[in-house]
Amino acid sequence: MFEEVLVPLVLASMLGEIRGRTRFQKLMFFIQKKAKSEGMANVSFDFKLYLYGPFSVSLNHTIDDLVAHQYLTETLEETPNGYVMHVYAMTKKGKSLLNMAKNKGLITLQLSQIIEEIAEKYGELPLPLLVEEAYAQC
Amino acid sequence: MARHYTSLMINVKEKDPFEELQSFLVRIYKLDEIDAKIYALALKKGILTSGIVITEMPELHQQTVSDKLRRLSNKGFLISTPRVVGVKSEAKRYPIKYLPVSPRMVLRDTLTMYAHIDKVVLSQIDEHLELLSTKQSEEFDEDIWIAKPEEIAMSRWGSAILNAKDRIQIYSHDCTWFNDDGIRNALRGASSKGVKIEVIATHPESKVTVGLSKMGINVDVTDQPNIPFCIIDKKLLFIPFKGGKLGTRYLFLMTGQKYLIENFVNFFSNVYKRKQEVEKNV
């Protein structure tokens, strides 16, 4: 329950900013998959295979809620031809929530390590490659 | 009963939900305007007869009202008492009554479809557009594009301003674009990110120069004539022109053509140089 709100925040905190709603979705998919493979079932977004790989409607809601409650900022970066990239970053409010959650032990060390591993491995991967990788892991 | 509830409705500043529903039914559901009005009336009153409709909408003919009520019943917006078949006098004594069906029920399929489009379909399109945004935009750069209608044109210009990384150069006449909230906010946003914004105008309104100056943007006045334009990061050129049905709406030509942009950048620099020379001589 808490993890579903906290994991996206930890991920945003580790990456500094998450460039793309698509990237957010795929990275969360990797984290959830890895966590489940290690016996942690506390993050359970309803990923389904769509046009560009795994996508979860409930994760989309969570991201929107985190933005609405000002734990994350969402900036729309538009290319000259009008295509939009959603960019997410932590706010001060998000950071303090995360610190409080860490202090209370709401995120296990094991889960933190998984998020860090995924962030390092895939965080900066070009988006088309990230989508390909997510497809491959579906 | 129905009268009792409608009399409890309070005049509030918020939009009237019945009017909003009516507008939705006409614009999106493509229901006939009068049908939508009668359905909204049914929802307000709780129960309808053709007599009530005629009292509220005297411009309608009795037969039209009966037809419309019957059509709304057939479409599932209203449920009715049975039509009394018999002598005329008997039918008059028992007018057909209509009860409104909840819009949640009538619009169930439409609302489900909208929710699906919002939550799933548009999110998929977002992903698609994000992937497109990572590709080169050569095709866009090679052509000149027309952004219209005015709302879309201004919104494209505004988001280009907001997404500027380095420099915005605007050559204008009276700077009336400053009256647009979206453009003003975009300029404020770009300025707060540290983007250099230069404005040259032939006869700017004083309230505009004051407003821009509050954002830290200086307006240089020139007498050199040209068509208005805006260059974003020396990569994107916007040229406004008047269009629309009455020729009163602002539309934009947009391009990423390097040669064309260079010409406009040079014109902009020359205006500055000339201005500096004049100031030196003075």
Domain limits of chain B?
14-109, 140-281
Query: Which class is domain B14-109?
Result: mainly alpha
- What tokens appear for B135 in the block? 């590709």
Which of B119, B131, B236 comes nearest A131 by C-beta? B131
Listed range (B95-104, B144-153, B230-239, B262-271) with the worst mean pLDDT: B144-153
Which of B131, B163, B256 comes nearest A78 by C-beta? B163
B135/B124: higher pLDDT: B124
Residue B140: name the closest of B267, B254, B60 by CA: B254
DSSP label at residue B29: S
Q: Taking a contact as any Cβ pair under 8 Å apart, which residues of chain B between 121 and 150 contact chain A?
A: 123-124, 126-134, 137, 139-141
Q: Please report the pLDDT score of residue A79 as a whole number.
A: 82
We find that the CATH architecture of domain B140-281 is 2-Layer Sandwich (3.30)
Residue of B nearest to A20 (CA): B130
Rounded CA-CA distance B219/B213 in Å is 8
- Bridge partner list, B169: B198, B231
Within an 8 Å CB–CB cutoff, is residue A49 touching chain B? no
pLDDT in tens, B256-279: 999 999 999 999 999 888 877 777
- To the nearest 10 degrees (0 to 180), the angle between helices A109-122 and A2-15 is 40
pLDDT in tens, B48-90: 999 999 999 999 999 999 999 999 999 999 999 987 666 555 5
Helix, strand, or coil (residue B216): coil
Which of A51, A80, A81 comes nearest B127 by C-beta? A51
A95/B243: higher pLDDT: A95
HSE toward the beta carbon, residue A11, CA cutoff 13 A: 30
Within an 8 Å CB–CB cutoff, is residue A46 touching chain B? no
- For residue A83, list chain B residues with Cβ-Cβ distance below 8 A: 129-130, 132-133
Task: Give which of B112, B122, B128, B130 to mutate to test A binding, by max A Cβ within 10 Å.
Answer: B130
Task: Give which of B122, B125, B128, B129 to mutate to test A binding, by max A Cβ within 10 Å.
Answer: B129
**Domains of chain A by range and CATH?**
2-125 (1.10.10.10)
> pTM for this one?
0.75
Rounded CA-CA distance B56/B40 in Å is 12
The per-residue b/e assignment along A30-62, b for 16 or more CB within 10 angstroms, e otherwise, is: bbbbbbeeeebebbebebeebebbbbbbebbeb
User: CA triplet A11, A15, A18: central angle to 5 degrees?
Assistant: 80
- For residue A133, list chain B residues with Cβ-Cβ distance below 8 A: none
Long-range contacts of A103-110 (CB under 8 A, 24+ apart): A106/A2, A106/A3, A106/A6, A107/A3, A107/A6, A107/A7, A107/A10, A108/A40, A110/A38, A110/A40
Cβ–Cβ below 8 Å for B133 and A79? yes
Q: Please report the pLDDT score of residue B165 as a whole number.
A: 92
Rounded CA-CA distance B159/A78 in Å is 7
Q: What are phi and psi of B219, to 5 degrees?
A: -110, 120
A37, A23 Cβ separation under 8 angstroms: no
For chain B, the average pLDDT equals 88
Residue of B nearest to A84 (CA): B130
What separation, in Å, do the N-terminal and C-terminal C-alpha atoms of chain B show?
Answer: 83
Mean pLDDT throughout B141-167?
Answer: 90
Residue B238: name the closest of B151, B153, B133, B174 by CA: B153
A106, A2 Cβ separation under 8 angstroms: yes
- For residue A55, list chain B residues with Cβ-Cβ distance below 8 A: 123-124, 127
pLDDT in tens, B102-120: 999 999 999 999 999 988 9
Q: Is B76 left (phi over 0), alpha (psi -120 to 50) or beta?
A: left
ipTM: 0.89
Cβ–Cβ below 8 Å for A20 and B163? no
Q: Are strands B219-221 and B196-201 parallel, antiparallel or unpaired?
A: parallel
Which of A52, A57, A77 comes nearest B128 by C-beta? A52
- For residue B123, list chain A residues with Cβ-Cβ distance below 8 A: 21, 55, 57, 60
